[in-house]
Structure formats: structure tokens, C-alpha cells
Structure 1
Amino acid sequence: MDLQSIFTYGFILIFIITETWIKRKTKSNNENNSEDKGSRYIIIGSIVCCLLLMNEQLLPSIAQLPHFLIYIGILLSLAGFVLRIYTVNYLGKNFTLAVQTTDSQQLVEAGPYSIVRNPAYTGSIVSILGLSFVSLNPLTIIICLILLVVGYSIRLKVEEKALHNHFGKAYETYCQKVRYRIFPYIW
């Protein structure tokens, strides 16, 4: 088994373990007043599609990228996992997998949330894009990027509307202070 296959299967295993841990850790944070509007399933669908694209038989390669990108992809993926876990822990009781607000919820503006408004999404995107680099297929990288941008754009609209409705002017002020949603100077 080559390094690409080992990492791809390892990534999928780490991804499942991480998301299961997050779901268990945040289960008590969930309320019945979800404003998710199915955006969670759009994110899951885009990630599953990206994972399926790692199968070399599904998408022909127009050219193979340099081999060193496997190592860059591994580092990106691991950094993404670490960032996602860190931000979930940082939010604590305020973190949920579904879009929702509660009366006890606080607007967190410190730590990673002082750099971008959605660092947990940053971690997810970086980890999936890192995996796409491991494929060494430029089409896989481009299609994964498109799927993730579309999926997370939909999710961000739903989430920002819910946060604006709940926090009002405080959220507007936060958005003016922290201008970028996912990546500084990019998005």
C-alpha cells in the first residue's frame, strides 16, 4: 500500500473519530430550536463527495502534481484537525453541530474567533483540502475546493442570519471587527 492510500484511509478514520468525539462532546449543547434549514447536510454531502473523489478511478487525472505535495497535504490535514478540535473546545457549551441559538449563549470574540468568525470551518476546509493535495490530482483539488466553498457558503448564510437575529447589533459590531469568515484576507 502506498503513502497516498495509507494517509487517505487514515484521514477517513481520523475524520470519523474526530466528528464522533465532537458529536458526543457537544450533544448536551443541542436544543430543539434548530435554525439549521438542512445546511448541516449540505456540509456533510460536500465532504462526502470530496472523500469519494480521493478514489483514483472516479476522476481521471489530467496531470500528476509533484510528489512533495503529499507531505504538504498531510501537514495541512493534521493542522486542520487540530484547529477544528481546538475551536470546538474553545467554544465549549456554545458549540453545536446544528445552527441554533439559546438564551444562555454568549457571542465569543476572543481566541481564534478574533481572527476569523468561523475557525472550526477553517479547520474542516483545511483538512479536506489537505487530503485532496495527497491525491496529486489537480482536478480533485479544484472540485473539492468548489464543493467546499459552495457548501460552506450556504451554511454561513444560514448561521449568520441566526446569529444576527439572536445577537443583533453586537453581532454586527463583531462582523465589522472580524471581517473574514473563514480565511484572513481571502474569505
Structure 2
Amino acid sequence: MGMDSRTISKEPQFLSKESPSRCLVHHWTWLFWPWFVAIVLAVYGLYCFYKHSIGEASIFEQIAIVTSAFTWLTLVPPAHFNGYLQGWPFVFFFVYHYFFFFNVSVRKRLYGDYYARPHDPKWDIHPPRWSRLLFCVGVMVGHWLAAFEGPELHLIPGGWSNVGIWILILATLLMQYNSTFYLAKYSEKVVVPIAVVQFGPYRWVRHPIYSSTMLLFATYFLALRAPLSLLFVVAVCLMYYAQKAKMEEDLMIETFGEKYLEYMGKVRYKLIPLVY
């Protein structure tokens, strides 16, 4: 009995020494690989953003800005809370790139370059800087909350259970593409409207580009199984886009008068069909 008790008492001590070493290896690996890469990318993205703010960023530097942002939205949060990456974060890292470059691709297709041409500055509609900053912070916080709220990535079921997510992704991309295409088609030099657009997704909501952005975020949170974070980011988007949509509609009424008021009467919903 004495010998057995000594054996038993030593065994947990051996395990207790081995387990921290494994945690240490994992911790240091995570510290010196993903965090190092993510932080370097963030610093370079901020530098490129500064160059963009003064109008000196190249195409590569503009891509670096969005790549840095999407890394900290879709890859870093779930990797931080799960310790590794698999599945949906990788998918949405590329989906976010594809989605937010649609405007660029459509403009290139229609006008032959990647740069907005001169236009009337009255169409440069921006909410106050504090509002834009809160929106960006809210979207970032929402993505981190989703990674915290969602289960470990390897627990998310695969196969046919995710068909609905793929359908939502395709619907989001098609909605964004068609919205951008029709807006560019009926706008002079991309951003100055010359007519009230009433085709494609504009038949269902008055601001389908904003709607498709909300749907993209919602799809990501659904993929991570994070319903509370989904409600949070939808609220953030609704507060910001409602403010921006109001500013745009006031200008459209000023420019097109009764024609736009008639369109508003025909298409009653701003962002979410049958809801808002």
C-alpha cells in the first residue's frame, strides 16, 4: 500500500510539470508568430492610411490598408480566443476583400481607371468624424465579441449545416455587385448621380449598398454562431447608416425634387426590406 501511494503521489507531479511546458510552447509560439505578424501588419496599415489621408497612397498601399483591417477583423480575434485558426475566419478574410473591392472593379470596368474623377464636392457626404470613428470602433468591437462569444472553431459543424451560410455569402456579393453596378451606370463619374436609380436592388431598399454591408457582417457572425454579437453590430450599422442615409436623401430631394419623393413613396424601406 505504501509503495502504491508513493507511485500515485508522484504521478500527478510528473503531469503537472509537463502540462505547463506544453502551455508555454503554445503561448510563445502564438506570441512570436501570429501576434508579431499581425502587429507589424497593423503598423504598416496605419502608415499606409496616413499616406492615403494626404493623397499619396499607391494601389498596393491602399490594398495594405484593407488587408490590415480585415486581418484584425476576421483572423486575429478568433485566433486569440481559440489559439488557432480554421474554417470560416479564413473564408471571410477573402470574402471581405472581394466584397469591398467591388466598387473598384466596377469603376475600372466602366471608366478605365481606379481613381474617382473630379466631381461636385457637395456629393462628398460624410457624417461627423466622431460618428465615423464610433462606427469603425463598433464594427471592430463586434468582431472581437463574436470571436469571444462563438464556440471554439473546431466545434462548428461542417457539411450541409453550412449551406445556408454559403447562400448568404453569394446573396451578399450579388447584392453588392448589382447595387454598385446600377449606381455607377446612372451616375456621372461614379459618384455624381444624374438620375434616380430604381433598378436592381434599388427596387427593394433605398440604400442597398449599406444593406449588403450589414448582411456581410451578419453572415460572418452567423457563421461563428454569435447571435448577441450579431444584434450588436446590426445596431451599430443601423445607427450609422441611418444618419448617413438621411444626409444623402436630403441632398437627393434637393437635386431631384418630386422624382425622388415619388421614389421614396414607392420604396418605403431604407435598409432592411419589410423592417426598416
Matched to 2:92, the amino acid is: T
Contact kept, 8 Å, 2:182 with 2:199, in 1: the verdict is: no
- 159, 171, 185: which one aligns with 1:79: 171
> Residue 12 in 1 paired to residue 12 in 2?
no
- 161, 180, 203: which one aligns with 1:88: 180
> Residue 129 in 1 paired to residue 218 in 2?
yes
Which of the pair has more CA radius of gyration?
Answer: 2
Instruction: State the shift of 1:133 in Å.
Output: 1.2
Identity %: 18
Q: Quick one: structure 1 residues 47 and 89, their matched pair in 2 at CA, closer, same or farther if it must change by over 3 Å?
A: farther
Tell me what 1:61 maps to: 149
Matched to 2:174, the amino acid is: V
Matched to 2:98, the amino acid is: I
Tell me what 1:21 maps to: 105
Instruction: State the shift of 1:160 in Å.
Output: 0.9
Tell me what 1:162 maps to: 251
> Residue 176 in 1 paired to residue 265 in 2?
yes
Contact kept, 8 Å, 2:99 with 2:176, in 1: the verdict is: no
- 20, 28, 31: which one aligns with 2:120: 31
Larger RCO: 1 or 2 (CA < 8 Å, sep 6+): 1
CA distance in 2, matches of 1:134, 1:15: 17
Count of residues in correspondence between the two structures? 182
Contact kept, 8 Å, 2:102 with 2:176, in 1: the verdict is: no
SS in 1 for 2:101: helix
After TM superposition, the structure 1 stretch with the greater mean CA deviation from structure 2, 79-88 or 113-122, is 113-122
CA displacement 1:16-64 (0-9 Å, x = unmatched): 43354356567237432235133699568636743553346x8632878
Consecutive unaligned residues in structure 1, runs of 5 or more: none
TM-score (norm 1): 0.75
SS in 2 for 1:116: coil
CA distance in 2, matches of 1:52, 1:97: 32
Query: Alignment RMSD, CA only?
Result: 3.5
Q: Quick one: structure 1 residues 149 and 160, their matched pair in 2 at CA, closer, same or farther if it must change by over 3 Å?
A: same
Matched to 2:229, the amino acid is: T
CA distance in 2, matches of 1:119, 1:95: 19
After TM superposition, the structure 1 stretch with the greater mean CA deviation from structure 2, 33-42 or 145-154, is 33-42
Consecutive unaligned residues in structure 2, runs of 5 or more: 1-84
CA displacement 1:49-83 (0-9 Å, x = unmatched): 43553346x86328789747754334323311211
Q: Quick one: structure 1 residues 52 and 20, their matched pair in 2 at CA, closer, same or farther if it must change by over 3 Å?
A: farther
Q: Quick one: structure 1 residues 52 and 21, their matched pair in 2 at CA, closer, same or farther if it must change by over 3 Å?
A: farther
CA distance in 1, matches of 2:215, 2:267: 20
Aligned structure 1 segments of 4 or more residues deviating by more than 6 angstroms? 62-66, 95-98
- 43, 50, 75: which one aligns with 2:139: 50
